[in-house]
A = this chain, B = another copy of it.
Amino acid sequence: MGRTRADMIIETRAKLISAGRRTFAAKGYAATSLEELTAEAGLTRGALYHHFDGKRGLLEAVIDQIDAEMTERLLEIFDQSESRWEGFTNELVAYVEMATEPEIQRVVLLDGPAVLGDPSHWPRQLTCLQMTMGNLQQLMEEGSIRTVNAEAMSHLISGAALLGSLWIANTSDPERASRELVESLMVLLSSLLPLPQGSRPAWP
């Protein structure tokens, strides 16, 4: 009933990931020293190199954990929505607001792609993005939205949300920016709704 060995391992990994989240978010990946990161966790670099594949490996683990939390939060929001379309849009709005949090923005959205490359090719690619694409496909099958290429469209939409969040977080009045961005986002998303026959004007 005392601390078994496996428990210690789990605890150590958790401490390292936790310190990683704090330090990466506060100082950025490049400016983070593993020495002080591990010291903050009450460990040494030896532990880190034993459990993870170096600095990169820790970043991957940190991003995985943050992504899991994001997914959970988004799923909850989706479940509380009335329709699938409403859930889809609510999720995106929530995503934009979440992406304003420094931990997510700095670690997942800025350093992540720079260090690990294209998010859609990560080992465990961002579950949030997959949710967006899945929703699009379901909505198309339901006939709730127009037929488009779900993959391409989901990348466009998540990209819009990403840069939008970056803008919000760095503006002097984030509240106002957030409202304006969500409003504009809904305009863009409205193009997914099915067209009444012939109602769309030809481009000027």
Q: Give chain B residues whose Cβ lies under 8 Å from the Cβ of A185.
A: 156
User: Interface SS of chain A: helix, strand, loop or mixed?
Assistant: helix
B149 A156 Cβ-Cβ under 8 A = no
Given A159-B159, A163-B162, verify A187-B146 contact (CB < 8 Å): yes
Q: Give chain B residues whose Cβ lies under 8 Å from the Cβ of A115.
A: 30, 114
A175, chain B: closest CB distance, angstroms: 13
Interface size on A, residues (CB 8 A): 58
Task: Pick the interface stretch among A8-16, A63-71, A72-80, A196-204.
Answer: A196-204
Q: Which of A29, A177, A187 has the most CB of B within 10 A?
A: A187
User: For residues 168 through 204 of chain A, which have their beta carbon under 8 Å from a beta carbon of chain B?
Assistant: 169-170, 177, 180-181, 183-185, 187-194, 196, 199-201, 203-204
Q: Is A111 an interface residue (CB 8 A)?
A: yes
A200 B204 Cβ-Cβ under 8 A = no
Q: Is A46 an interface residue (CB 8 A)?
A: no
Q: Give chain B residues whose Cβ lies under 8 Å from the Cβ of A62.
A: none
Interface bits A117-150 vs B (CB < 8 Å: 1, else 0): 1111100000000000000000000001010110
CB within 8 A of A199: which of B89, B161, B166, B196? B196
Q: Is A101 an interface residue (CB 8 A)?
A: no
Given A155-B164, A167-B118, A170-B120, verify A148-B199 contact (CB < 8 Å): no
Q: Give chain B residues whose Cβ lies under 8 Å from the Cβ of A170.
A: 117-118, 120-121
